[in-house]
C-alpha cells in the first residue's frame, strides 16, 4: 500500500478528517459561506444577471470571507504532543 492510499484511503480524504479531527469551526464555515456567496455574485455579474456594481459588491464579500478566514484559529486541532526529551551521554552532548 502506497503513501497516498495509506494517508487518504479509498474516499480520498486524509485519515485525520475521516476520523473527525480537524473539523471546521462555525466561524470558518461562515467564512466559506461568504466566499462562495461572493463568488456566485461575481459569476452572476459575468453572465449579466446582475450589474457590474453588484459584482464588485460580491468581490468585497468574497474578499471579506477570505481575510476573515486568515485571522485566528481556522480549525480545531487536537493538542500537539510535546517533543521527546533528548538523551545525553557523559560529555553532555546530544
Q: In whole angstroms, what is the distance from residue 35 CA to residue 68 CA?
A: 10
Residue 80: inside a domain, yes or no? no
Does residue 12 lie in a domain region? no
CB 78 within 8 A of CB 21: yes
In a domain, 93, yes or no: no
**Structural domains of the chain, count:** 1
Please indicate, yes or no, if residue 71 is contained in any of the structural domains.
Answer: yes
Domain housing 30: 23-75
Count of alpha carbons within 13 angstroms of residue 24, beta-carbon side: 9
Left (φ > 0), alpha (ψ -120 to 50) or beta: where does 88 sit?
Answer: beta
Maximum separation of any 2 CA atoms in the chain, in Å: 77
Whole-structure pTM value? 0.54
C-alpha cell at 93: 552532548
- The grid cell for 72 is 485566528
pLDDT at 83 over 80: no
Residue 8 lies inside a defined structural domain of this protein: no
Q: What are 15-73's pLDDT values in tens digits?
A: 554 444 556 778 888 888 999 999 999 999 999 999 999 999 999 999 999 898 888 55
By three-state DSSP, how is residue 75 classified? strand
Amino acid at each position: 500500500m502506497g503513501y497516498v492510499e495509506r494517508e487518504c484511503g479509498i474516499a480520498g480524504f486524509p485519515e485525520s478528517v475521516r476520523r473527525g479531527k480537524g473539523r471546521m469551526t462555525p466561524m470558518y464555515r461562515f467564512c466559506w459561506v461568504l466566499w462562495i456567496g461572493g463568488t456566485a455574485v461575481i459569476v452572476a455579474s459575468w453572465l449579466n444577471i446582475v450589474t457590474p456594481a453588484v459584482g464588485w459588491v460580491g468581490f468585497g464579500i468574497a474578499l471579506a470571507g477570505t481575510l476573515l478566514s486568515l485571522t485566528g484559529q481556522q480549525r480545531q486541532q487536537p493538542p500537539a504532543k510535546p517533543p521527546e526529551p533528548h538523551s545525553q551521554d557523559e560529555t553532555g552532548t546530544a
